[in-house]
Structure formats: structure tokens, C-alpha cells
Amino acid sequence: MEEQLLITNLKHRSEVAFKELVDLFKTRIYNTALGFVQNEEDAEEITQDVFIKVFENISGFRGDAKLSSWLYRIAVTQSLEFLRKKKRKKRSGSLIFLFSKKEDGWDQPHFNHPGIETEKREMAVILFKAIRQLSEQQQAAFLLQKTENLSQTEIADIMNTSVGAIESLLQRAKSRLRKLLEDYYQKNFL
């Protein structure tokens, strides 16, 4: 179905159109969420939340951006919101968390990202843990580029900013990751 027709049908609450939207985008939305939260169950929950938000808010979609950009924007927002809530829970949680935290801070996320080969999973866990230490904007830009293979123009559209700002975010993210990973490997392997 053509995008404009799909949007029109969605605005008229067509179940067929909504099912088509889910079929078209569920894998991409899930992978985006998984890149942020690194937990399969949480990514599934976020994916459902994204489609609920789309269903509830499609009438307000003005078409300023492509439908896919709008969906990614919602997925990024939902993922970051999920992480913020999780962080608040940890801060206000019991002392057990403080004493059970691993000394080096590199505890393992629980996920199997479809873009990562089995033999590279251990390294991926370390990389994704480092990605969590980036600013939210850097995380979003980096993950959209590296896990979803989106162009800087597409990312700028999703994040509602300029291509120059995305270039800057990506440069800072890569620089920070280099430093984090260098520190980790020096501490653990040298």
C-alpha cells in the first residue's frame, strides 16, 4: 500500500492498515529498541508501546516527515524514556543493588541482537555497555546509524535536527567510545 494511502487508512482506524504498518515496521522498531535497552523482553514491550502510541496519535501526524521517520522518532523516545525510568528505579532501589553491582561496571546485558554474529557476541556486549554511557543524543544517532544503517540525513529527520548536528554527535560518540573501550581493554587485558 502506498504510504499516503496507508496514513489515510490509519487515520480512519483501519485494522487492515494498522496490521500492515505493524508488519512493515515491527522488526525495525524492535531492533531499534533492542539497541537501546539490550534486553529482548524490554525491546518487545517498547515495540508494543510504540505501536500503541502510533495508533493513539496517528490523527495528529501531519506528514512533515516520512512515516518511517516518525516511527523511529517514537521508538527512540520510548526507548530513552524506558531507560530513564529504569535508571530512576535503580537510584531509588534498595541497597542490595549497590552491593551486588560488579566492580568493573561492565555487567552483561541480556540480548541477542540479530545483526551480531554468535562469535562476536562477547565483544558486542562490551560495546553496547559502552554505548549506554554516551549521552542520549549520541546513543540515538550512533545506534540509528550503526544498527539500522540509516543515513545522516535520515537520522537528522528522525531526531529533528540538522545533518551537521548529527555529524557532530557521531564524531563525539565515536571519540567517547574509543576512550571507553581503550580504558576497558587496558584495564582488563594489559
pLDDT digits (tens, 9 = 90+) for 41-76: 999 999 999 999 999 999 999 888 899 999 999 999
Burial of 182 (0-12, 13-18, 19+ CB in 10 A): exposed
pLDDT digits (tens, 9 = 90+) for 106-150: 344 555 555 556 557 777 788 888 999 999 999 999 999 998 999
Tell me, what's the pLDDT at 125?
A: 80
Distances (CA, A) of 86 to 33, 41, 81, 103, 146: 14, 14, 9, 20, 24
User: Look-up: residue for cell 549521552?
Assistant: 135
Joined grid coordinates for residue 55:
495508533
Structural domain boundaries, residue 89: 3-189
Distance between CA atoms of 109 and 160, rounded to whole angstroms?
29
Which cell numbers in the block locate residue 40? 529482548
pLDDT band at 184 (very low <50, low <70, confident <90, very high): confident
SS3 label, residue 112: coil
Q: Quote the number of domains for the chain.
A: 1
* 34: amino acid identity, one letter: L
| CATH number of residue 46's parent domain | 1.10.1740.10
Q: Give the model confidence (pLDDT) of 71-90 as tens digits.
A: 999 999 999 999 999 887 76
CB 159 within 8 A of CB 73: yes
C-alpha cell at 36: 537501546
Classify 171 as helix, strand or coil: helix
